[in-house]
Amino acid sequence: MVELSDEKLLTDLFSSSRTKRNIFVFYGVIIMVIVYHASVFMLLEYDNIKNKNTADEFSISFEESIFAESDSRTVNDGEKESVEFTAPPALFLDNAGFGLLEIIITYSETSGEPGDQCDVVSVNIPPNGVTADWQNENNVLSGTSDDCSDILLQVMVYPEYDGNDYNVSGGNQDIWGDFWSDKSHGQGTFTIEIEVEVRQPLIPLPTFQDSDEEVNINWNAHFFDVIVE
């Protein structure tokens, strides 16, 4: 059945000192790498590997502080007035981040004429000039009032910030702390554009004169500190 041949395989493979040296170096490298892998797996990373599917849970909460600033403008009929707001740099140093900006626009009919109706005030914030979450669906970037009611605008500045506490899994305290401490959000100047359309009384008196309106602007910048536990 068998034509006998050299059966001493190992003798052939290790037939010369040159080959022996080469193959033992090869095995040596393999053993070194396996020992290195074992030390990383069994010693350095063992706990992490063991718990890789059980991520740590963290509770993230926010402490909010509001910086308020007021301004007013008298806007002529049919004209557009721009008003700007820049958050003071100190607020960025004292807080983790700039969460959101509320703008409340108030006005009343100031002509003093009997029967004069409220003017129409339109306000909008162009999405530029500041790094903010301009695409957030909770943003209110424009508003109009014709009955002297307040106009409320809102810009969500810090992405995903809504002021509510929440829980997360994975990562570590530093990662989540860093995630909520990005000072770049809210840096820059917000600008609102106010337009007034003066409305005349239904029965104007000869002495009647109403060609503008005074509009008050209240800026409420919501800054926050983050607590990761």
Partner 1 sequence: MAESNLLFIGAILSIALGSLSLHLIRKNENLEWNERLAAHILCWMFVVKGIQNAAVGYINELPMENDTENIWQFLYAMSMLLDHAFSFSIMALCLIYPVPLLRTARQLKIGFVVLMTILVFRVVLVLVGHPSSLLEFPGLLYIVSGIVWGTVYIKFRLIEPELRTESTQNIATVCSLFLILVMGHIWFWWPGMILQAEYFYFFDLGGVFTSITWDYMWQMALSLCIAIGLCILAIEVYQSVQGNPNSSMMYILISYFIIGAIGYVILSNVESVHHAVVVEETTKLAALWSTLTSQMHFTIVRPLIAMYILLKFGLFDITEENKSTAKLMAVILIVVATSAILELIQSIIPINEMVSAALLGIIIAFGIGWEERSFDKLVNNRANLRIDVEPKWFPKIKQSDKITSKIDLAYAVFIVIVTLISYLIWKTNMLLQIYWEKGGG
Rounded to a whole number of angstroms, the minimum distance from the CB of residue 227 to partner 1 is: 17
Spatial distance between the Cα atoms of 130 and 133, rounded to a whole number of angstroms = 9
Which residues here bind partner 1, judged by CB under 8 A? 1-7, 9, 12-13, 16, 18-19, 22-23, 26, 29-30, 32-34, 36-38, 40-42, 44-45, 48-50, 52-53, 160, 170-171, 175-176, 179
Report CA Rg, the chain. 35
Spatial distance between the Cα atoms of 165 and 59, rounded to a whole number of angstroms = 7
Rounded to a whole number of angstroms, the minimum distance from the CB of residue 83 to partner 1 is: 33
Name which of 6 and 147 has its Cβ closer to partner 1.
6
Q: Which residues contact 91 (CB under 8 A, 6 or more apart)?
A: 67, 98, 221, 223
Q: What is the Cα 201 distance to its own chain's centre? A: 46
Q: Please report the sign of the dihedral spanned by the C-alpha atoms of residue 60, residue 141, residue 67, residue 129.
A: positive
Name which of 16 and 207 has its Cβ closer to partner 1.
16
Rounded to a whole number of angstroms, the minimum distance from the CB of residue 76 to partner 1 is: 45
Name which of 194 and 226 has its Cβ closer to partner 1.
226
Written as one string, the DSSP assignment of 30-46 is: HHHHHHHHHHIIIIISH
Token couple for 188: 């820059």
Name which of 171 and 201 has its Cβ closer to partner 1.
171
Name which of 51 and 76 has its Cβ closer to partner 1.
51
